[in-house]
Structure 1
Amino acid sequence: MIVVLGAGYAGLMVANALGRKADVRLVNERDTFVERVRLHQLAAGQELVRRPLAKLLRGVGLEVGRVVALDPAARTVGLADGREVGYDTLVYALGSSGDLSTPGAAEHAYDVGVPADAARLRDRLAGGGTVAVVGGGLTGIETAAELARPDLKVVLLTDRLGAGLSEKGRAHVAAVFARLGVEVREGVAVERVRADGVELASGDHVTADAVAWTAGFRVPDLARDAGIEVDAVGRMVVDETLRSVSHPDVYGVGDAAAARMPGGQELRMACATGLPSAQHAARAILARRAGREPGALRFRYFNQCISLGRTDALIQFVDRDDTPRERILTGRLAVAYKEAIVRGVVVAERHPWIPTMI
């Protein structure tokens, strides 16, 4: 029995890739697939398509429940309701959530990467007001642009806006924000989140009716608690085939695994890295079951896709190591480009051996 933990982008893909070739069970805390890359749209009040896992799975059993413990010695997974699920091979794909360790963030901020928080933020902002978006990475940029509307003041707080973008890319984002009326405060650090806004390290207070949190990620502690080798932030340490370096019957994919490219560069947390690594893990598992030694993960980056509301977007082309080029695509063509990729991901989840290049 192969057990896959987590039905995010990586978990669902590896489960379906294995489902027609092995006995596979997928364990997930909800019975639907969450399109995490669209949650900023949910926060802005847009309706998202509901995607039941039962309609997406191919030859895979589904166990709905929240994982609370791993026992590698007994090869069991413990669920919150007391059930246990046994495995021969485990795929750890529990993903990540926002890093809410900043004082007050867990109590007062909304994690845009969590469906329930995105929905609560939508409801909180239904009457307008001011929202502070903390974080100037891709998620923060998408969230700020999506939330911008006449009755809502958006203030984005960050050290540097779009730090991973080219100068052309950053200039386009800045121009769009100026057109949308998004206020950007760079060179700031949030020290505390309060019910009425945030306190900055400088001592300034930014008043807000709600705080949208997009700064940093954290992963579950389950692997560390189980004695599986993890890195400094809790990501499972895996080899070039995505297998745990400490437990050979466990594989890690997606945000919760510290996978590396040839040459040693660590993959960033992203859908773009989760899908190819999931495919490779499936190949590695099937190869070893057939008595063959799998090859190493081979991966390269192509682009970063950023929505800027419904009428603009930024496609930032990058070198194979994710270094941004001074080549971008913007406007409605970029909107269509990104939408095609996002829709294509859902198709790829159903047909997991389609080459992924996102």
Structure 2
Amino acid sequence: MPMRANAGLRRRDWVAFAAQALVLPSMGAFTGTAANALPARTLSFPRDHASHPELQTEWWYITGHVHAGAADRGIERGTGRELGFQVTFFRSRVAATQQMRSEFAARQLLFAHAAVTDLEAGVQYHDQRMARAGFGIAQASEADCSIRLRDWSLQRHTPDGQHDASAHSTFTTAIRSRDFTLDLTLASTQPLILQGKDGLSRKGPQEDQASYYYSVPQLAVSGELQVKGARHRIEARQGDARGNRAWMDHEWSEALMHPDAVGWDWIGMNLFDGSALTAFRLRRADGSTLWTGGSLRAPGAVQARIFAPGEVRFDPQRRWRSPHSGAHYPVQWQVDTPEGSFAVDALLDDQELDSTGSTGAVYWEGISDLKDRSGTTVGRGYLEMTGYAGGIRLS
């Protein structure tokens, strides 16, 4: 059985802030009074790389895969060891405290998850952080992507004067954990993708079930990654989409999840030819599909082909039963899109994340391969599955 490691938050940390929230990067689920439909608007950069504290929830989500050196106490250059990583920063607006005058009122919460999957060892390590915004502990800029949560951070850098959607961006992230550290630079090789209709992405049949959403695929990864004391140097491969690549999503919303939805299945895949594939579905309790979406951008293209509702199909194949939660996760999928049919294969079955001691959710998030109809591996990225280990709502 693969090993797992988790340095989790204590539940009393959350009680102290009198808030409940959910950390699930690719789409969110909320309960409460109905939200107003988000207006269509033109996303403006760098402002929309930054925080939007007027809306209820927001996240900056990064996943990637790298080839690192053999385990050693010295620094090894990237050679063959395969590692996956995930970094997510999440902001939650606490409605109940917005009118409080006390400077100690927790009006905004910032928290984060990070994970590293060591495929050779069959281990996924993960950790998390949480704090209320302010007091020099946590902050999310409203000018550009610049987020800090204690000793974890994510920042965006760009050449002076380049601020539109096609501008080159470089993101840096620093994560310190008991079992791993990340000091990574993620350099864009392509323009960002506006998901949905010009960045307004529907997440259900009702108009208020939507989010502002863009992706930055095919990020070239460099820097240093340390796992259990073994330090690995990662070198960017600007012309090689097969190795050391990452994906970033930024999404913000006031939306509620449809009452019939119990979870979702989502993929973000960097293809080796330079394409970028997103596909997702929201799922009912009986396993049927409530809503679908996604996009594919071809090599060299600026605009993505946006998938209409009903154009994507997820068919589960092999399932894995978690010995931790008892949930049955489809770790192999057949995903059909207007731009092709693909198989999605998890590279490690046990990539379940347990955050019941903090966010209350148990979900599956892990590095996976993308294969074409012939069985050839054509890409790599991350698969996310929620709602298999119980409901994902908090009331």
Q: TM-score, normalised by structure 1?
A: 0.30
Indicate the structure with greater helix content: 1
Q: Which has the larger radius of gyration?
A: 1
Larger fraction in strand: 2
TM-score, normalization: structure 2? 0.28
